[in-house]
Amino acid sequence: GTGLMVEDLSHSYGARKALSNVSFSVERGCFCALLGPNGAGKSTLFSLLTGLFTSKSGDIHVAGFDLAKKPRSALAALGVVFQQPTLDMHLSVHQNMRYYAALQGLSGKHATRRIGEALEQLEMADRAGEKVRALNGGHRRRMEIARAMLHEPAILLLDEPTVGLDTSTRQAITAHVHKLARSEGLTVLWATHLVDEVEDEDQLVILHKGTIRADGTAATLRGARN
């Protein structure tokens, strides 16, 4: 089955075309890296996938739901980690998680269970009482990923989640998300401009100047290049 499907998607900012007839799909349970240099259109695609922008042309299906026709179901299937951290610095990790659980309609024992599970999966349980501002960059990112998992999404979208982190922290975050994806059977779309970050993903989609340049496994794309 298809986790994520994008068909003939275009977007312009005034006269500037940011995406032109973009089509690709990610099978359920697959880890897809969306690779492209700055300006390729990755963030624009994320804005469309998360409903921040409405597409005037093209279709987006999330976990089988048409985003234009069934936005609530489609968005409920998504966990999102934006490029810029959106954290409440003065709250503790646990308070952050509680608040976002409540926004997702989770309360009481169910919320407590999900917060515990999500923090455990990101190995953040021992940080629950710490203020976010006291955490380092890697732990903040892990908390954001745990937070995106609270409502048990089928699909996790991450827009350059390792920007600003050092190499070993980046590798740790990548490993955490891979482990999470495997254990939960998640469909993942991971946007990055860092080629070395996307070695062993199931699928590589290369975006350049708003169009898809390549789509396949890392092995097939390497074969095509050599």
Q: Does 1 bind ligand ADP (CB under 6 A)?
A: no
| CB hemisphere CA count around 166 (13 angstroms) | 3
206 counts as binding ligand ADP under rule CB under 6 A: no
Chain position whose Cβ is nearest to ligand ADP: 92
Residue 166 CB neighbours (<10 A): 12
Which residue stretch of 55-63, 71-79, 89-97, 139-147 sits at the interface with ligand ADP (rule: CB under 6 A)?
A: 89-97
Q: Minimum distance from CB of 141 to ligand ADP (Å)? A: 18
Q: Is 94 a binder of ligand ADP (CB under 6 A)?
A: yes
- Taking the complex as a whole, the smallest distance from the CB of residue 184 to ligand ADP amounts, in Å, to 21
Task: In angstroms, give the least distance from the CB of 67 to ligand ADP.
Answer: 18
Q: Tell me the closest approach of the beta carbon of residue 221 to ligand ADP, in angstroms.
A: 18
User: Rounded to an integer, what distance in angstroms lies between the CA atom of residue 61 and that of residue 30?
Assistant: 15
Give the interface segment with ligand ADP, choosing from 38-46, 138-146, 163-171, 195-203 (CB under 6 A). Answer: 38-46
Q: Tell which one of 5, 44, 147, 181 touches ligand ADP (CB under 6 A).
A: 44
Q: Does 92 bind ligand ADP (CB under 6 A)?
A: yes
| Nearest CB to ligand ADP, comparing residues 65 and 82 | 82
41 lies in the binding site for ligand ADP (CB under 6 A): yes
Chain positions contacting ligand ADP, by CB under 6 A = 13, 16, 18, 36, 38-44, 92, 94-95, 128-129
